[in-house]
Each structure stands twice: as structure tokens, then as C-alpha cells.
Amino acid sequence: EPEVTQTPSHQVTQMGQEVILRCVPISNHLYFYWYRQILGQKVEFLVSFYNNEISEKSEIFDDQFSVERPDGSNFTLKIRSTKLEDSAMYFCASSDPGQPFNQPQHFGDGTRLSIL
Amino acid sequence: AQKITQTQPGMFVQEKEAVTLDCTYDTSDQSYGLFWYKQPSSGEMIFLIYQGSYDEQNATEGRYSLNFQKARKSANLVISASQLGDSAMYFCAMREGQTGGFKTIFGAGTRLFVKA
């Protein structure tokens, strides 16, 4: 079964540095998402991406964050000037074409980001 | 206001018994989808089951079934014949078709412990 793959599985970064989290969505999916989960808390929506542009973003997704689909397969989340509170599990997800609300999002295994 | 409410932070169930995990939701949309995800201790998000707002029959997927009561805005997950491997965090989630954009909104989760 096709999978969403995320790299790296664990990223350790010094506070203030930039980090890029990478994702390869399922190949025929058209909608892409980033979520984050601070340890022990609920999963929070960050941003959705469709047709090469951001379709929606949450209040968490401020100027510190950006997303990009640099080629036909990768989908990246860049976090600039990382802060301690950016430490979390970051999930990439993708979903099928068609009505988005009735399609499950398939999640990658996540990247655990630790800011020191 | 919370869009997804899971009132059980933790649940215990004896192996081979059935267990119901509660979920209520709040939306004014007519078109929406309800989802359940499982998150084992390893951290990945596993899609379990989906229920559409227009579906008249309760969704079933193997040992998982969704008890959908639209008027009460509840979408409880029923796991039959619990197994030790079912011990995990379970998240109820919703996507709204008209006003919600593409994002999935998650509840706070219920941690299920299956006892041998």
C-alpha cells in the first residue's frame, strides 16, 4: 500500500537555526498538509496546500513557517529561527482528489523535532 | 468552542471484550466527514474508519465500527474483541465540507489500555 514518507525521523537543531522537514506524499494525491503535535497534546493543523499554493493556514503558521513543493514529489516545511516551543512531532499528510472532506488523510510517520 | 470533544482521557478494557470510545462534534455544515485515527506509542497516525454526514449506515471496518448518531452529533468508535495491540491513543477528527476548508480538526484523544 502506498505510504507518505517523511525524513528525517528525528531532527535535533540548535535554537535560532533553520530546519527543513521533508515529505513525499502518495503519488496520485493532490492535497498536502502539515500538522504538529506537541508531546502529550492534540494534533494541530498548520497548513494545507493544493495546486501549488497554500489553501488554508492556521494562526500557528506565521511568518516563521513556509511550505514548498520544489518538484513533483517532495513537499517541505521550513521553520526559520527555531524556538524551544517549536519542539514537537510534525506530521505530513496527503489525500486523494475528489471531495476533500470525505477523503481520509494519510499520515506519514512524523518527524520528531527537538530544539536545544 | 471545541469542535471535537473526547471526554474520556483514558479507558481500560479487558482483552477480547468490546469497548466504546466517545466522540461528539460541533458543526453547522451539512457536509462533513468524521474520522478515527489510532496513534500507537511509536507515534505514527493510522487511519481506522470514516463516516460521511450523508451516510445512512454506520461505517464498519473489520473490528472497528462507528456508531453515528447525527441528531446527537456523536460518532463513537466501537472496537470489538479487543487485542493487546489495540493499546494506543485514539483520536476522533472531523473535516467540514463547506466552511472548514481542507483541514482536519482533532479531538484531544482517548488513551486505551487493553488488559490481558
CA distance A99 to A97: 7
Distance (Å) from the C-alpha of residue A47 to the closest C-alpha of chain B?
A: 8
Residue A91: its chain B contacts at CB < 8 A?
Answer: 45
At B83, list the grid cell: 487485542
Q: Best mutation site among A105, A111, A112, A114 for testing chain B: the one with the most B CBs within 10 Å?
A: A105
pLDDT digits (tens, 9 = 90+) for A57-91: 999 999 999 999 988 789 999 999 999 999 999 99
**A44, A55, A107 ranked by CB distance to B45: nearest:** A107
Distance (Å) from the C-alpha of residue A16 to the closest C-alpha of chain B?
A: 26
Average pLDDT, chain A: 91
In chain A, the percentage of residues whose pLDDT exceeds 90 is 69
A81 in Cβ contact with A64 (< 8 Å): yes
CA distance B5 to B11: 15
- The phi and psi torsions of B43 (rounded to 5 degrees) equal 105, -15
Distance (Å) from the C-alpha of residue B5 to the closest C-alpha of chain A?
A: 11
pLDDT digits (tens, 9 = 90+) for B63-114: 999 999 999 999 999 999 999 999 999 999 998 866 556 778 999 999 999 9
Q: What is the pLDDT of residue B1?
A: 59
Distance (Å) from the C-alpha of residue B108 to the closest C-alpha of chain A?
A: 5
To which residue does cell 450523508 refer?
Answer: B54
For chain B, say whether A50 makes contact (Cβ under 8 Å): yes
Q: Best mutation site among B102, B105, B111 for testing chain A: the one with the most A CBs within 10 Å?
A: B102
Average confidence (pLDDT) over A50-54: 88
With CA atoms as reference, the chain B residue closest to A92 would be B45
Q: What is the pLDDT of residue B76?
A: 98
Least confident of A16-20, A46-50, A58-62, B102-106: B102-106
